[in-house]
Amino acid sequence: MVNKLKNRLLGGIALLASAFVLPPMTLSAETVVSTELTLMANAERTESGDTGFYNLSNGKFSLSSKGLNEVKGQLTVDVEVTDTVLIDIQKAWLKAQLAAFRLTMGKTRLSWGEGYMYNAGDVIFGGKGADLSAEELRDNNAWLASLYLPIGDFSFIEAVALPPDLPILAWQQYAQAKASADENPVLQAEFKKKSAPEIAGPKQTSAGGRAYTKLGGLKFETGYLWDGTDELHKPYVSLQGHLLADLHASSSIELGSDKPFSPDTKKSWRISGGALYQLPLSSYGENPSSGTLDFRFEAMVSPYGEWNAETLYAAPFNPLSGDGNASPYALSLFPQISWKSDTLFAYVRSVISPIDASAISSIGLHWAPLQGFKILSGFSLQSGNDGDVYVFDGAQGWKLSLGTRVDF
């Protein structure tokens, strides 16, 4: 077991190192290197009610292929620095155009469904994890393989498979526990209760597909995912169109493999919808600036969800984190007003739980006075009472961020 673990670790390190060391595969291929450095100073209300200060630095290094017409790839490494260093392979993918279809493999993102904050059609990532201080709220990625088959200019079908992770970390922890038990007989009784982690079976592989097309003026998308982790069937449907504003709606449901029509099934039914109205101001009024004022409103509804307010959490819990869902309640709202010009991105946005009257509101200003250089500022405030879904840092929790970002 330990040798197998070591071999797999070494293989992984070799694969990662080769991406940086090996020369381009063909004489015509080039590698484009890009770097993004973000340096932020933050102040926020701590759990004890005091004010805490900390810095958070992030570096993102991307190697992207260039020059090959039928193949492309990207490797992005994300490094977060605070009192420790966290390294993450954010993206590592390749795309290959093979005859009539396109193959994508590696760690990347597929955006299914429709929605900026709320998207019931996002059955792959479940709408988890949103960064309210960013221009793009989500950047989750997963290891996957997909086949894309175009049908017409604006229609396609896509199949995807998401195999479960190789449990290297679990093996490492098991090996460490075994080594500790071997050295200390006191730990052996506890160790015997553990079982060695095994590679997941086929049933734990998530897989599905979607179809995307236009019906008249509407964009219509429907798909299905077998979620191997939770053993759930997840069909969805999504529409997008325009009537005075850009409108969208999506709906999905989760069917258990053993009991597809249980009470949990009804509770899992979600409907999301939204409207976006864009007002380009360069041609209006007497003193407009060149830019676009966006008015956005979205909502997520679980018709059979919890409509009564109650205290759900005994400990701080961030429903916007990577492990959380939008809200355990039946209704969540997201209004946003934003302004975007060549140098400015300013926004006021809020995630609202009307059932328990709690919210996280965020205001931000990103100013790019020079090419490749941005000054970032943001302030967020939690409103509501202790125990409300969006008051996870204590009542009236707040956070102030100020920093810079440079791209080169």
Q: Which residue has the tokens 């960013």?
A: 134
Q: Is 115 helix (H, G, I), strand (E, B) or coil?
A: coil
Scan residues 161-190 and list those touching other proteins (CB under 8 A). none
- Which member of 242, 260, 310, 322 binds other proteins (CB under 8 A)? 242
Q: Which stretch binds other proteins (CB under 8 A): 186-194, 196-204, 258-266, 281-289?
A: 281-289
Using rule CB under 8 A, residue 286 touches other proteins: yes
The 8-class DSSP code of residue 407 comes to E
- Which member of 65, 92, 106, 108 binds other proteins (CB under 8 A)? 108
DSSP 345-374: EEEEEEEEETTTTEEEEEEEEEEEEETTEE
Are 320 and 313 within 8 A, CB to CB? Answer: no
Min. distance of Cβ 296 from other proteins in angstroms?
12
**114 or 393, CB closer to other proteins?**
114
If we measure between CA atoms, which residue out of 303, 322, 216, 219 comes closest to residue 265? 303
Min. distance of Cβ 342 from other proteins in angstroms?
3
Min. distance of Cβ 292 from other proteins in angstroms?
5
Min. distance of Cβ 84 from other proteins in angstroms?
26
Using rule CB under 8 A, residue 23 touches other proteins: no
* Tokens describing residue 253: 């449901």
Dihedral of the CA atoms 136, 360, 341, 64 (nearest 10)?
Answer: -20
Going by DSSP bridges, is the β-strand pair 255-256/270-280 parallel, antiparallel, or unpaired?
Answer: unpaired
**293 or 330, CB closer to other proteins?**
293
Min. distance of Cβ 348 from other proteins in angstroms?
20
- Rounded distance, CA 255 to CA 248, Å? 24
Are 107 and 125 within 8 A, CB to CB? Answer: no
* Tokens describing residue 156: 């396609």
Using rule CB under 8 A, residue 296 touches other proteins: no
Min. distance of Cβ 314 from other proteins in angstroms?
35
Min. distance of Cβ 294 from other proteins in angstroms?
10
- Rounded distance, CA 131 to CA 126, Å? 15
- Which member of 59, 150, 163, 394 binds other proteins (CB under 8 A)? 150
Q: Which stretch binds other proteins (CB under 8 A): 38-46, 190-198, 282-290, 331-339?
A: 282-290
Using rule CB under 8 A, residue 279 touches other proteins: yes
Contact letters for other proteins, residues 310-349 (x by CB under 8 A): ------------------------------xxxx------
Using rule CB under 8 A, residue 231 touches other proteins: no
DSSP 45-90: E-TTS-EEEEEEEEEEEEEEEES-SSEEEEEEEEEEESSSEEEEEE
Count of residues of this chain found to bind other proteins when the rule CB under 8 A is applied: 55
Scan residues 119-148 and list those touching other proteins (CB under 8 A). 136, 138-139, 148
Min. distance of Cβ 3 from other proteins in angstroms?
38
- Rounded distance, CA 373 to CA 136, Å? 18
* Tokens describing residue 373: 């250089």
Measuring CA to CA, how many Å separate 274 from each of 94, 110, 240, 381? 33, 20, 9, 23
- Rounded distance, CA 214 to CA 307, Å? 35
Min. distance of Cβ 366 from other proteins in angstroms?
12
Q: Which stretch binds other proteins (CB under 8 A): 14-22, 94-102, 254-262, 391-399?
A: 94-102
**Which positions touch other proteins (CB under 8 A)?**
34, 64, 72, 95, 97, 102, 108-111, 136, 138-139, 148, 150, 152-156, 212, 217, 219, 240-242, 244-246, 276-280, 282-283, 285-292, 340-343, 368-372, 407-408
